[in-house]
Structure 1
Amino acid sequence: MRSLQIQITYHARKRMAERRNSEELLKDIIETGQTRYKDETRLWIFKHIEGRDDNLICAAVVLEKKLVIKTIMHHFQ
């Protein structure tokens, strides 16, 4: 993902805490995960994380002048 400022919404932070996902893990998913676009501004970034039983970990994202993380999901399909 090109160099953009990242904004994590309150909802996404809450889901991160519930699912034991750190900001470091989120950065790794954004930098090295796979992407699937819904349209030109909405997408999912996801990655299988070794040692976790709740895969795939996924960030639902809105691409604007910054990258807005709307929520964090697991068991993404």
Structure 2
Amino acid sequence: MHSQRFERRVTVTRHAQERMKQRGISEVDLIELLEGGDLRYKDEIRLWVAKHFEGRSDNLICAAVILEKHLVVKTVMHHFDWGG
């Protein structure tokens, strides 16, 4: 998987894959999230990407990612709130 937005190969951790399965988030959804979601940076390499998906009733879907040599997706959440 590759992200044009971040110009990096995407690596999805086992934990993130398990959460995607539990939460009904497909690989296609993940790519749409990464390519078009809103960004919030924690620091220079850690950030959240969140997006509302039509037809889902669980608020925002969010991926916690790390920008390194690859874009590493650490986890995928639903019922996400930016908090504040």
Distance in 2 of aligned mates of 1:74 and 1:22: 13
2:15 maps to which of 1, 4, 11: 11
Distance in 2 of aligned mates of 1:63 and 1:76: 21
Structure 2: any 5+ residue segments left out of the alignment? none
1:63 maps to what in 2? 67
User: How far off its partner does 1:55 sit?
Assistant: 1.7
Identity %: 56
Distance in 2 of aligned mates of 1:72 and 1:2: 18
Instruction: Return structure 1 stretches of 4+ with deviation > 3 angstroms.
Output: none
Count of residue pairs brought into register by the alignment: 77
Structure 2 length-normalised TM: 0.89
Structure 1 length-normalised TM: 0.97
2:28 maps to which of 17, 24, 28: 24
Structure 1: any 5+ residue segments left out of the alignment? none
